[in-house]
Every structure is written in C-alpha cells, then in structure tokens.
Amino acid sequence: MASDPRGSLGATETQQDLPFEHNRLYQIFGTKEDVERGFHAHKNLQKIVVVAQKYYTKTMKYFIENCVLLIFSDKCYTKSDYIYNYNEFLNEFKQP
C-alpha cells in the first residue's frame, strides 16, 4: 500500500499476494441496503472477497447501500460448481 497527498494505491500481485492464481475477478456493486446475496456454495472453488467500499457481513447479508466488493476466484464461472440446495451442500461436504 502506498499513500501520498493524492490518496492511496493498493495492488495485488497473484504470484506474491494471493494463495492461488486467479482466473476470474468479478464485482458486486450498486447494492441496496439490507439486501441479501449469495445463497449458494461451491464444490471446488477458492475465493477471496475484498471490500472495496463500505461494508457487508461475511454471509453477504446486510449490505450498506452502494457497497463495492471485488472477488478473486481461482476458477472461471462453471454452473455445475454451484450448490443452491442446503441438503446437497451437506451431502457434498459430509465427513466420512
């Protein structure tokens, strides 16, 4: 992170700063207050969520209006990786 009278600059270098090489960067913005998002899990995906502006909770509930998130993930979008059903989630990740 670098700062001077003009403001601050932050950079992320995949090879040095992230625990995986990212293949996708997506953004959530224009949020409305108290709107929930997400409602899914992933079978095989790593991600890092960066709050770029304002605030939200880790379960993607209770956004503050105009919150901005940047999400780095190790894989590109694959519909079959998404789990929307809680019972399917439990079956996918059940302990032996």
What is the radius of gyration, based on Cα positions, of the chain?
A: 16
Q: Which domains does the chain have, with CATH numbers?
A: 20-92 (2.60.120.10)
Residue-by-residue pLDDT tens, the chain, 96 positions: 667 777 666 666 666 777 778 888 888 888 777 778 878 888 888 887 877 766 555 566 666 777 777 777 888 788 898 898 989 888 888 877
The pTM assigned to this predicted structure is 0.52
Give the DSSP letter string of the chain. Answer: -EEETTEEE----HHHHSSS--SEEEEE-S--TT------EESS--EEEEEEES---TTS-SPPTT-EEEEEESS---GGGEE--HHHHHHHT---
Distance (Å, rounded) from C-alpha 60 to C-alpha 34? 10
Specify the pLDDT at position 41: 84
